[in-house]
Structure 1
Amino acid sequence: MAKVVHLQKTFDKIDYSAQKLSDREFQDCIFKNCDFSNSILSGNEFTDCTFDTCNLSMVKLDKTKLNEVHFIGCKLMGVDFSNINAFILSMSFKNCMLHFANFSRLKLKKTEFEECSIKEANFSETDLKGSAFHRCDLERTVFERSNLESVDFRTAYNFNIDPESNLMKKARFSSSGLEGLLIRHQLLID
């Protein structure tokens, strides 16, 4: 079956919830106010695309390519990114809700997370070198055996990161965020 190719299209207020969309390629497309909740987007390709104020909660992305994809104001609850096609992977997130998202074992170097709520997400064994979490809530998010070298956590909050189980050379923290690095040791900081 030949792939359906969409070039420079805008998809606005379309309800794709609980639908299966496969064998499609989207280049330089914009998705605005679309509902992809519980959809299966497996095997598709998204290049230079923007998802603006979309609901992608519980979407299935197995073997999906995400290259230069920007999520702005999106709800991405329970999304398992760990099974995407990671060959060429580049994403950014701004004002997104990423509760229970799974990014484990991905190479997410220089990924920008800005003003996101990333609660109970999983970044185990993830390479985040050079990434940034600007004003992000990382409550109960897991960083285990991850590469956090040169990651900017200066304005992130509610994180609990064990420096002994992650690579953290040149990671950046504010002095007010140091408590999130010491929780494991049960120190009392006033």
Structure 2
Amino acid sequence: MQHNFIDEQTFKNKTFTENEFEKGDYELCTFINCVFLNANLSHTRFIECEFHDCNLSSANIFDTSFQDVYFKGCKLLGLDFEKCSDFAFTIKVEQCQLNHASFYKMNLKKTLFKDSKLEGVDFTECNLSNAVFDECNLINVTFFNTNLENTNFKTSENFKIDPENNRLKGAKFSLKTIEGLLSKYQIKIE
């Protein structure tokens, strides 16, 4: 099977659910307003690529490689990121919807999540040390046995983190969100 190499190309307004997505290595490519809904992206490598206003919801990302990939304004609903290749996995997420995505046991050290909705995301057993959750909605997010050392939550909301089941040394929180750390104790903060 031939392995394709696609570099420095821009894809605009493409729908890859109807057309077969060409597997291969995409380097320095930009995808703008593209639809990958339920698309098969397995065994594809995205290296230093950008996705703007794309819908990748429920795409098959088995053994997909995301290396230094930037998502802005994208729908990434229900993606099983833990099925991706973990080799050099690095993403930045801005103004995206990641509802019900799963990052189980992934290394997300220093990852930036900015102005995004992460409802119901699973970060169980992840390394999120030095990550930044900037103005994110973290309602029903699962943090369990998660390394959150030096992680910044100061501007995010609606999270619940059990300090007894997660590593929090050096993590940053604002006074207005401290309730998310204490909710399991059923105490009143006034």
The bucket for the TM-score relative to the shorter chain is over 0.9
CA distance in 2 between counterparts of 1:48 and 1:60 reads 20
Distance 1:12 1:153, change over 3 A: same
Find out whether 1:182 has 2:182 as its counterpart. yes
Report 1:37-76 matches (<5 A).
Answer: 37-76=37-76
* Offset at residue 22 of structure 1 (A): 5.8
**Which secondary structure does the structure 1 equivalent of 2:182 belong to?**
helix
CA distance in 2 between counterparts of 1:152 and 1:144 reads 17
Paired position in structure 2 for 1:99: 99
CA distance in 2 between counterparts of 1:18 and 1:78 reads 20
CA contact (8 A) 1:18 1:37 kept: no
Structure 1 stretches of 4+ moved >3 Å: 18-23
CA contact (8 A) 1:19 1:38 kept: no
**Which secondary structure does the structure 1 equivalent of 2:36 belong to?**
coil
Aligned residues: 190
Residue identity in the other structure for 2:168:
M
**Which secondary structure does the structure 2 equivalent of 1:183 belong to?**
helix
Paired position in structure 2 for 1:83: 83
CA contact (8 A) 1:69 1:91 kept: yes
CA distance in 2 between counterparts of 1:169 and 1:25 reads 39
CA contact (8 A) 1:24 1:44 kept: yes
Residue identity in the other structure for 1:121:
V
CA distance in 1 between counterparts of 2:109 and 2:164 reads 21
Q: Where does the alignment leave 5 or more consecutive residues of structure 2 unmatched?
A: none
TM-score norm. by structure 2 comes to: 0.97
**Which secondary structure does the structure 1 equivalent of 2:164 belong to?**
helix
Paired position in structure 2 for 1:11: 11
Q: Where does the alignment leave 5 or more consecutive residues of structure 1 unmatched?
A: none
Distance 1:19 1:83, change over 3 A: farther
* Offset at residue 20 of structure 1 (A): 5.0
Report 1:106-185 matches (<5 A).
Answer: 106-185=106-185
CA contact (8 A) 1:2 1:23 kept: no
TM-score norm. by structure 1 comes to: 0.97
CA distance in 2 between counterparts of 1:3 and 1:26 reads 11
Using the TM superposition, name which of 115-124 and 18-27 deviates more: 18-27
CA contact (8 A) 1:18 1:36 kept: no
* Offset at residue 185 of structure 1 (A): 0.7
